[in-house]
Amino acid sequence: MTRPLGSPQRVVFGETLVELADGDRRIVVLDGDLGNSTRADIFEQAHPDRFFQMGIAEQNMLGVAAGMATVGFVPFISSFACFVVARALDQIRVLVAQPGLNVKIIGSYSGLLTARTGKTHMIFNDLAIMRTMTGLVVVSPVDEIEARLAMRAIAAHDGPVYMRLCREASPRVFDSSYRFHLGKATVLRQGSDVTLIATGVQTARVLEAADLLGREGVQAHVVHVPTIKPLDEKTILEAADRTGLVVTVEEHYEAGGLGGAIAEVLCERRPLPLKRIGIAEAWGESGPDDALLDSAGLSAQRDAATVRRFLREMGR
């Protein structure tokens, strides 16, 4: 089933910030000289008095945001995921996470699809880093509808948040009836043969893979996990019990991200066969989106093929 593309999450980020700031004078945006890429410039045009251009100085940007949070502002940090996580990690740890300050860290241009920026502008272990940061909520929405709702939820949440956004437009998975809740996973498709668990925009490709498998008689149970931390263990365990086989899929290294989080839960509470699909341990590279996804084994076709092999290995 081909799903229509929605607005890019970065555009939704800028538009929703404007809407939120219209009703909340506390909201400010700190930008790392990337506003026309992350689309924080949409906010800048609407609220120039609450937009702060911090330049290419991510450590300082987090320090300023922490200071603003201590006097009642709600700072949103706007930068590429690779820069805000890797360059400013100590500031996130000491100045934001340890005191539990109300700072929202938005990592745009996450994963593989970064418009041919190359390996210096790509990071594939941001979820692993941020989900192990004490006190931090970690969110990765699938489409424009969920991104908009997640923005509102993290703005209302009192505490530090990391949200991962994709640059490119992604297929719509949800409609206007969807309700987002921090810490809740969603079952997107019922099945009995294998449980597929995904996060972020990769969930849309996993749904397509489930469609391909369905044509061959394999009924996949698909779960979308938009909140990596706190993790919805109840829904995950129920999904694992349903099929007895679990495959995690993410646009992130295999180690430490969603697959690592699911493995931790299953190892302690429900030991059963688990296959993790993610990016192999390698640096990023420039290339067309479809080629990068296929090379990394994350296209719908490659996902489906990996699940087929796993089922054969398990005697299914």
Active site residues: 58
Query: Rounded distance, CA 88 to CA 25, Å?
Result: 26
How do strand 186-189 and strand 220-224 relate by DSSP bridges?
antiparallel
- Is the bond preceding 230 in cis, omega lying within 30 degrees of 0? yes
Cβ contact 245:262 at 8 Å = no
- Strand positions, DSSP E, 117-166: 137-139, 161-164
**Residue 49, CA atoms < 13 Å, CB-side half-sphere:** 4
Tokens 């805000």, residue located: 84
Paired residues of 79 in beta bridges: 107
The three-state secondary structure class of 250 is strand
Cα 295 to chain center, whole Å? Answer: 21
DSSP sequence for 1-25: -PPPB---HHHHHHHHHHHHHHH-T
The angle subtended at Cα 27 by Cα 20 and Cα 24, nearest 5°, is 50
Q: Which residue blocks in 249-314 are alpha helix, DSSP H?
A: 258-269, 289-295, 300-313
- Report which secondary-structure segment, H or E, holds 30: strand 27-31
244 DSSP 8-state letter: S
